[in-house]
Structure 1
Amino acid sequence: MTNILIIEDEQPAGEYLQSLIQQIMPEAKILDILESVEQSVQWLTSHPAPDLIFSDVQLGDGTCFDVFEQTTVRCPIIFTTAHDEYAINAFKLNSVDYLLKPIKSTALHQSLDKYQQTSGEGLKGKMESLEEIIRSQMLSGKTTRRNFLVPYRDKLIPIRDEEFAWFKIENGIVDGRLTDGRNYAIDKSLEELEKMLNPDDFFRASRQFIVARRSIREIEFYFNGRLLIRVDPVSKKPILISKERVPMFKKWFEES
């Protein structure tokens, strides 16, 4: 029996992948479907290692590489990704298999066949080189948006990206707070904004917040290894960096 772990932040996609795997490999056991970096780190540090991991690259609170930086993973990994063909070639060159979304049954079958012949030796080196390539692809292929047209009553308000202090989602509504204190409802999800904004200037602090570097005034140590971010203008809701994302936040703040 093959024990398989799935890391996928979209529940329907995770369940679909699970059903495909079980059709092709009935003897496989799906141990769990994890939706975030935080969940994945907790699971991998508290359970016996799986035989195989299927992992999406981009997760809601970071990337799969954040998981692998904080845990020891020696089993083969099959990535599921929506990256373009240039990035896909990078996967091939690094001898780590991939599945391009939307996942097809025939492609999954080929990946599982390849898994049967995969050795865990040298996986760490492959992961490190793959991470470097994927991160560079995410940045180099990304067109950041500097200007936004924000609907307000019967108008469209032009706003530059540097005018935003932070973005927040609450009750399904995304708000953008400007450095002068004004607040506008944004007709985009945080995931969409994260892809549009310059990653040197903005950080996905949590599932609820994206913060601009220029808005950060203080950083406090918080319970359970977390950080509390104090911003200007002030947010009524606390902006917390999870213990697992603290190293990434520090690196972003100090090096970008």
Structure 2
Amino acid sequence: MTCLPNNNRCKLLVLDIDINQLNSDDLRRFFIPYGPIESVEIFPRCSAAIIYFVSYLIVDRLVSYRTYLIHQNYVRLRRFRLDQTNWSIDCRTLRVKFNTTTNNKLTELSLSHCFKEYQSYIEKITVFPNNHGLILFSDYDYVDQLLLLPSNVYQINNKTLTLERMIQKKRDLIVGRLLNQVEYLSKQLQDKSNHSRDDIEQLEAEIFILKNENAQLNRNIKTRRRVLVDISNRCSNEQYHRKRSRSNSSEKQIKRR
């Protein structure tokens, strides 16, 4: 199953390369056992490389490993991504909208039906009034897969959808700050009706991501609390048993006297 020229599905993106330790020949020698390689290209500024295989099935297998150790260098294996400036960012959120002006309206139901083959991997669908939606997947690889399909694959009422990664910006992971920012952005949407369409989309997307961050933080906090409680209980039990052991030992010594 040979790839056609410039088929991005046949390209493996290798991230976090130490260019002082690895070169294109090293990568070719390491990955050639997985299948025939058309070409290897290194991008020093991105600390990345693209390996072009003869079949996308080879890439499917390799990306399932996620990370690999090559000459003491841990690298990440990903599907090819078009936006080079954000190659290194794993994104679980897909932005969806019609590629032309239309009277059709996006709904959670229509998007759910449109992406029904990915239904078991979708965690959340949010649709906004200005006719675009955000789909949160359980893993970044589903977003990468979808963006490598032909541009006209997904349609609603014969209208083609445009898909793009919704990159998550780095922020301080402080629950209070996130909640305040969500409230602030929500108020901006309500008070400033003259925002341009792009500005509104960006604000809504920020809110969507912030809420998901907050939910994840709350889950992490609950997990840490359970761990701390378990540790505290174990320590208390150990102290109790040590005291009891010392007490029994003292009683035995007294009886012997």
TM-score (norm. length: structure 2): 0.24
Larger radius of gyration: 2
Higher strand share: 1
Structure with the larger RCO, 1 or 2 (CA within 8 Å, 6+ apart): 2
TM-score (norm. length: structure 1): 0.25
